[in-house]
Structure 1
Amino acid sequence: MEFIEMRDGYEIWYREDPVEKPKGIIVITHGFAEHASRYDHVARHLNRYGYHVVRYDLRGHGRNRDRGHLDRFESYLEDLEEIVGKVAQKYPDVPLITFGHSMGGLITAIFGIENPEMSCAQILSGPALGSLPSAEKLKPGTMKILSQIAGGIKLKNPVGEGICGKRQVYIDYINDPLVLHRASLRLYYQFLFRGVELLGEGAKRYRLPCLVVHGKEDPIVPVEISSWFHEEIPSQKKDLIVYDGLYHEILNEDEWESILRDITDWLG
C-alpha cells in the first residue's frame, strides 16, 4: 500500500493485491463516506479466483487529506482515469475490469461512458445512478447556490442501519475512524446532483458489458434505479441480479461469497 500523486499534486491512498498470472485486474471504487479497506475480504476472495485487485481511497475519503470535502465531481472521474491508465500501462496484456459500489458505482458508470476503451467490462453494486431518497426534499438549484456560498459547511452522514441486514456491519461502520461521519455541503451537492446529472446525460452512450448487482430491500439506493439503468443502456451484454432480502452493502451480507461467485461466473 502506498500514496500515489495525481496530476494536480493530490495524493491518493492506493493498494494492489496481486496474484501470479492473473486472469484479469479488477479496479474497485468504494462508495460515499467509506474507504477501500472495507473491501479486504472482497480482494482476498477475488484473489482466490485468479484476479489481481486494485483499490484506492476516493479523494476526500479514508486516509486522504481534505476529508469530507470535494470541489468537483469530475475530479473523481479524472482520478479513476489516471489510476486505470497507470494500471493498464503496468499490465498491458491483462484484461481490466472496473468495479464500483454505490457512489463508486456512479463514478464507475460515468467513467465507462467517457472512457469505454479503458476497461473490458464493469461490475456495479447498488449503484447510485439516480435521485436518492436522501435527496428527495432537496432542490438542485438551491443546493447548487448553497454549495457555492457555504460549501464548506459539514453535514451529518445520513446513512443508517439500512446499510446492511447484519447489525454488526452498521455498528462497525459508525465506529470506523476512516468512515466519514460528516461531509461538506459541496460534496453532497456534487454527489447527489452533479454526478447524477452527468450519468443521466450519458446513459444512452453506455456500451460496455455490464453486470449490476443490487439488494432488493436496499433503502439507500432503491433497486428501481438499477432496473432503470439496465433497461436504458444499449449494451449488447448487460445483466441485472437482484437479491431478495438483502440491503445496500450486499458484499457485507452473509451471502457475500455466493454474490462474488455470481460475479466471477459472469466474468467467465
Structure 2
Amino acid sequence: MGGQTAAPQLAAEAIVAADGYRLPLRHWGPVDKPRAVILALHGFNEYGNAFDDPARFWGQLGIATYAYDQRGFGATARRGIWPGTNTLTADAAATLRLLEARHPGVPLYLLGESMGGAVAILTATAPGHPPIAGLILSSPATWGRQTMAALPRATLWLSRLLIPGMTFTGRDLGIQASDNIPMLVALGRDPLYIRATRVDTIDGVVDLMGRASDAVAEIAEPTLVLMAEHEQVLAPESVERLLQRLPRRPDVVVASYSRGWHWLLRDLGRRAPQRDIADWVLHPGPALPSGADQRGAARRDLVTPPAPARAAAGG
C-alpha cells in the first residue's frame, strides 16, 4: 500500500483506498434498509463476481452483499502481483468502516471464501478491528507452512529466491474445485480470472494462510465455518488444524456438507449452504436449516473431542 493521500471512499463502483488505489466494487440486494449487510472477500486468482449467484439469492431475502476485487486480482492495477497480507487486511478493514457508515445500525458480517477466508480471519482478529456482527468462512484457506511437508517448503523457498517471476498454472494437478461444470467452463473463459500465478505470489499467499491458521484461535466474534466433504483444493492437514484450533463456543458453528466441493457457494448443491448463511445471519443460532451443523459437530469431534470426553479418555 502506498502512502495515505485521503480518507477511504465508498464510490458507486469502487472502493477508493487511502492511497488512491481503486478496488472495483459490486453490490447486490436492497440499497435502502437491508436486513443485514455482508462484505464478501473472494478467493485466490478470482474477483468479486464470484459472489454473483449467492448474493442474488440473499438479496431476495433482504440481505445486501458487497464484494470488491482485492488488490492484484480482477480488474485492479498491477494484476497478478502480490500486494502483501497487511495491505489486503487494511483494505478489508477500511471497507467495513465505510459500510458501517453507509448502513448504521444494520448487522454487518464479514464473509471470506478460500483465500478470502484467510484475509477475513486476520481482519477480524487484528487489534482495533472494525466491529462486526459475525464472521462467515467458506472453505477458508489456512494451508500455511505449518502443515506443509519439508520438501514442498524447501522447494517454495528456493523458487521464491531464484525464479520469483516464473508462473505456474496448476493445470496438471488434477484438482477439481466444484461439481458445477458449466460454472467452471465459464470461469476458465473469464478474462479477469488469473490462470498463471507467479512464484512470489504463491509464496505470499502461503504466508497469508499460515498467519490465518495461527490466528484462528483468537476469533472472538460469532462465526460460521462451512466445510466441504469433497474438498480437493485444501490439504487435509490444514483442514484438521483449522478444526482443532477453532474456539469451542456455542456461537462458533461448523457446518459440513456431504455434497460440497471447495466452491461450496457455487456448487450444484449451493442452495443449502447459501440458505444456511442467510438463516444464520437473520436468525443467529447454532442450528442450521440443512442440518449441516450436526455433521460439522461430528466431524470436529473426530479431530478434537470435547473437553469432558478428552478428560474421560485420559483416565
* TM-score normalised by L of structure 2: 0.76
Change (3 A) 1:160 1:44: farther
> Following TM superposition, by how much is the alpha carbon of 1:190 offset from its aligned partner in structure 2, in angstroms?
0.8
> Measured at CA, do residues 250 and 204 of structure 1 come closer, stay the same or move farther in structure 2, by a change above 3 Å?
closer
Q: Does the residue aligned with 2:71 lie in a helix, a strand or coil?
A: coil
Residue in structure 2 matching 1:187, options 163, 183, 201: 201
Q: Of the candidates 228, 242, 253, which is equivalent to residue 229 of structure 1? A: 242
**1:201 alignment partner in structure 2:** 214
User: Which digits, 9 at most, give the CA deviation of each residue in 1:95-137, with x for residues without a partner?
Assistant: 11000110011111111111554211011111101249x9657
Note if contact 1:207-1:233 (Cα within 8 Å) is conserved in structure 2. Answer: no
* SS of residue matched to 2:220: coil
Counterpart Cα distance in 2 of 1:244 and 1:65: 39
**Aligned residue pair count:** 266
Q: 1:33 to 1:62 in 2, by over 3 A?
A: same
- Of 30, 47, 59 in structure 2, the residue corresponding to residue 35 of structure 1 is 47
* Contact 2:109–2:135, Cα closer than 8 Å, also in 1: yes
Distance in 1 of aligned mates of 2:151 and 2:184: 26
Q: Structure 1 pair 117/56, CA: closer, same or farther in 2 (3 Å)?
A: closer
1:10 aligns to what? 21
Give the letter aligned to residue 82 of structure 2. L
**Equivalent position of 1:172 in the other structure:** 186
Gaps of 5+ in 2: 1-11, 284-315
CA distance in 2, matches of 1:103, 1:260: 19
Aligned-residue identity in percent: 22
Tell me the SS of whatever aligns to 2:43.
coil
What is the TM-score when the length of structure 1 is the normalising length?
0.89
Note if contact 1:101-1:124 (Cα within 8 Å) is conserved in structure 2. yes
In structure 2, the partner of 1:124 is 137
SS at 1:162's partner residue?
coil
Where does structure 1 lack aligned partners over 5 or more consecutive residues?
A: none
Distance 1:72 1:155 in 2: 20
Give the number of the structure whose alpha-carbon radius of gyration is greater: 2
What is the root-mean-square deviation in Å for CA atoms of aligned residues? 2.5
Query: Does structure 1 retain, via aligned residues, the 8 Å contact 2:93–2:130?
Result: no
- Structure 1 residues 73-102: Cα deviation after superposition (integer angstroms, max 9, x where no partner): 221111111111111122221111000110
CA distance in 1, matches of 2:56, 2:219: 30
Q: Counterpart of 2:214 in structure 1: which amino acid?
A: E
Distance 1:84 1:149 in 2: 38
Counterpart Cα distance in 2 of 1:206 and 1:257: 27
1:84-103 mapped onto 2 (5 Å cutoff) = 84-103=96-115
Per-residue CA shift, 1:217-256, capped at 9, x if unaligned?
1100246644532431326311111111321111111221
Higher RCO by CA contacts (8 Å cutoff, separation 6 or greater)? 1
Closer/same/farther in 2, CA of residues 224 and 155 from structure 1, 3 Å limit: closer
Determine whether 1:75 maps to 2:87: yes
CA distance in 2, matches of 1:150, 1:6: 31
Q: Which amino acid aligns with 2:25?
A: Y
Provide, for residues 40-73 of structure 1, a one-character-per-residue CA deviation record: whole Å limited to 9, x for no partner.
Answer: 1111111111111111011111111211111412
